[in-house]
Amino acid sequence: MTAFTIGSATVTRVEEVLEPGFLPAFLFPGLDSAILDEHPQLKQPNFFHAESGKVISSIHGWLVRLGGKTILIDTCSGNGKARALPLLRRFNMLSFPFMENLAAAGVQPEDVDLVICTHLHVDHVGWNTRAKDGRFVPTFPKARYLFGRAEYEHWTDGPGPSLFPENVPVIEDSVLPVVEAGMVDFIDAGDTIMPGLTVEAVPGHTATQLAVKCEMPDGAFICTADVLHQPLQIYHPELNSCFCEDGEAARTTRLRVLEYCADSGALLLPMHFGPPHAGHVVRDGDGYRFEPARPS
Ligand SMILES: [Zn+2]
């Protein structure tokens, strides 16, 4: 199990799946595939599956232990959820050992104090709920679930459903049951979750996506939601994924996050990078390069 120690915090990756995900030209429309050859690091097996030509995609949550609290950032895709529409077929009726992996990290469902969802896409909210007696109920019985207020409104009273109709069933089975159970606290960009832990707006992928930032005297990290899908985007921040709602905003946000990581030394914790799944952003000429982190 991959874990990192940053100051007084430990962050453990809880895997749902690690597999060849998308063809790069699908994930990054307009990609010149010669870009991959410019950086040999990107063609290593931890980031690229040569046989299929697909980039390696991880889906995981980050389990943060900080100040005596157990915090799960993003809950992957979940098991047994119908995702019949073609774009989301990869997520249809899954049966992955996410909860077993959480247990292997020493955490039972009732141990989780906070669940934070960076945004409400299919692969970030699934284990918010699980099937019980024919319906979906909250998975973590003692947790408070923190959803961005603006992100929630984006999907329930905003343009989300028309921009990404495939995600509507996700809201219905993995978001609304938790809201209806009274277990959600809505949060806003700039809020402090607990000492050292804040959320900030990282618009683009969704208009209202949040990053989770931890700044302590002895270290910092940032969970970047889907500002970055692949290490390739550190070398080419202009590349948006096909799932980004607002391309211009996504580029501006990506540059700001890369600059923050390079200037502060904060550990970058993305949601979809291949092993070791986290790293540092280092200035290189006019741009940046990726230095994979060493797990503790
Ligand atoms: Zn994602």
Tell me how far the alpha carbon of residue 133 lies from the centroid of ligand 1, in angstroms.
Answer: 29
DSSP string, 96-145: --HHHHHHHTT--GGG--EEEESS-SHHHHGGGEEEETTEEEES-TTPEE
Tell me how far the alpha carbon of residue 186 lies from the centroid of ligand 1, in angstroms.
Answer: 20
Tell me if the bond preceding 276 is cis, omega within 30° of 0.
Answer: yes
Tokens representing residue 150 in the block: 């603006």
Q: What is the per-residue pLDDT across 100-138, written as a single tens digit (0 to 9) for each?
A: 999 999 999 999 999 999 999 999 999 999 999 999 999
Tell me how far the alpha carbon of residue 272 lies from the centroid of ligand 1, in angstroms.
Answer: 7
Q: Is residue 26 over pLDDT 90? A: yes
Tell me how far the alpha carbon of residue 248 lies from the centroid of ligand 1, in angstroms.
Answer: 18
Tokens representing residue 114 in the block: 């906070």
Tokens representing residue 166 in the block: 């495939």
Contacts of 138 (CB under 8 A, 6+ apart): 128, 129, 145, 177, 178, 181, 183
Q: What CA–CA distance (Å, rounded) separates 261 from 187?
A: 23
Tell me how far the alpha carbon of residue 9 lies from the centroid of ligand 1, in angstroms.
Answer: 24
Q: Amino acid identity of 21? A: G
- 3-class secondary-structure state, position 201: strand
Tell me how far the alpha carbon of residue 142 lies from the centroid of ligand 1, in angstroms.
Answer: 25
Tell me how far the alpha carbon of residue 118 lies from the centroid of ligand 1, in angstroms.
Answer: 9
Q: HSE of 264 in the Cβ direction (CA atoms, 13 Å)?
A: 20
Mean pLDDT value across residues 2-10: 97
Question: Is 10 within 8 Å of 65 (Cβ atoms)?
Answer: yes
Give the lowest-confidence range in 81-90, 97-106, 204-213, 278-287. 81-90
* Phi, psi at 121, each rounded to 5°: -80, 160
Tell me how far the alpha carbon of residue 250 lies from the centroid of ligand 1, in angstroms.
Answer: 14
Tell me how far the alpha carbon of residue 146 lies from the centroid of ligand 1, in angstroms.
Answer: 17
Q: What is the per-residue pLDDT across 157-211, written as a single tens digit (0 to 9) for each?
A: 999 999 999 999 999 999 999 999 999 999 999 999 999 999 999 999 999 999 9
Query: Can you give the pLDDT at residue 34?
Result: 87
Tell me how far the alpha carbon of residue 22 lies from the centroid of ligand 1, in angstroms.
Answer: 12
Nearest CA to 273 out of 249, 295, 245 is that of: 295
Tell me how far the alpha carbon of residue 121 lies from the centroid of ligand 1, in angstroms.
Answer: 7
Q: Is residue 30 over pLDDT 90? A: no
Q: Is residue 33 over pLDDT 90? A: no
Question: Is 260 within 8 Å of 237 (Cβ atoms)?
Answer: no
All domains in the chain, ordered by first residue = 3-292 (3.60.15.10)
Question: Is 76 within 8 Å of 126 (Cβ atoms)?
Answer: yes
- 3-class secondary-structure state, position 78: coil
Question: Is 54 within 8 Å of 87 (Cβ atoms)?
Answer: no
Mean pLDDT value across residues 271-292: 97
Tell me how far the alpha carbon of residue 135 lies from the centroid of ligand 1, in angstroms.
Answer: 25
Tell me how far the alpha carbon of residue 123 lies from the centroid of ligand 1, in angstroms.
Answer: 5
Tell me how far the alpha carbon of residue 34 lies from the centroid of ligand 1, in angstroms.
Answer: 25
Tell me how far the alpha carbon of residue 61 lies from the centroid of ligand 1, in angstroms.
Answer: 11
Q: Is residue 19 over pLDDT 90? A: yes
pLDDT above 70 covers what percent of the chain?
A: 100
pTM passes above 0.85? yes
Nearest CA to 60 out of 89, 92, 21, 23 is that of: 21
Tokens representing residue 31 in the block: 């990609």
β-sheet bridge partners, residue 283? 288
Tokens representing residue 258 in the block: 């890369």
Question: Is 211 within 8 Å of 220 (Cβ atoms)?
Answer: no
Give the lowest-confidence range in 27-31, 65-69, 117-121. 27-31
Tell me how far the alpha carbon of residue 183 lies from the centroid of ligand 1, in angstroms.
Answer: 23
Give the lowest-confidence range in 30-39, 129-138, 266-275. 30-39
Tell me how far the alpha carbon of residue 125 lies from the centroid of ligand 1, in angstroms.
Answer: 10
Q: Is residue 57 over pLDDT 90? A: yes
